[in-house]
């Protein structure tokens, strides 16, 4: 697999867990703890997909989703929100902000695998 996944997660343990799992699945992985780091990763190499924590400390992860959707080069890039906010209204807000899908925490890795497969191999 040659797809590069960008994990944007402020919690170090969650970020490491996601990165380790993605590497085991055969993905190349980049990670960022904040929006500035995430944008810097785009400059280094555009990812194939983004796993985006909705709440990044004081930053709103949906800002990155909007930034991605505003750039024609990245408009079709899959953005998958990863959130502890599992209510339907929260998920609707995530989708309206430009995310393609929403995966709730704690993460069901089978669901995440299926989600990534659907967007990367469609």
Q: Where are the domains of the chain?
A: 4-120
pTM beyond 0.85: the answer is yes
CA dist list (Å): 9 to 1, 40, 55, 57: 23, 15, 8, 9
Per-residue model confidence (pLDDT) at position 91: 82
Strand stretches in the chain, DSSP E: 4-8, 28-32, 49-53, 55-56, 59-60, 79-83, 101-104
DSSP-derived letter for residue 74 is G
pLDDT at 122 over 70: no
Q: Are 82 and 103 in contact (CB under 8 A)?
A: yes
Tell me yes or no: is domain 4-120 CATH 3.40.710.10: no
Q: How confident is the model over 55-82, as a mean pLDDT? A: 90
């Amino acid at each position: 697999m040659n797809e590069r996944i960008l994990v944007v997660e402020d919690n170090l343990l969650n970020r490491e867990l996601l990165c380790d799992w993605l590497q085991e699945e055969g993905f190349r992985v980049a990670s960022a703890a904040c929006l500035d780091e995430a944008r810097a990763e785009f400059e280094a190499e555009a990812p194939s997909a983004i796993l985006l924590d909705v709440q990044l400390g004081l930053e709103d992860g949906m800002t990155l989703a909007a930034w991605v959707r505003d750039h024609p080069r990245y408009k079709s890039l899959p953005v998958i929100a990863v959130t502890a906010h599992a209510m339907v209204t929260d998920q609707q807000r995530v989708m309206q902000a430009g995310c393609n899908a929403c995966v709730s925490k704690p993460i069901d890795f089978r669901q995440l695998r299926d989600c990534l497969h659907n967007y990367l191999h469609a």
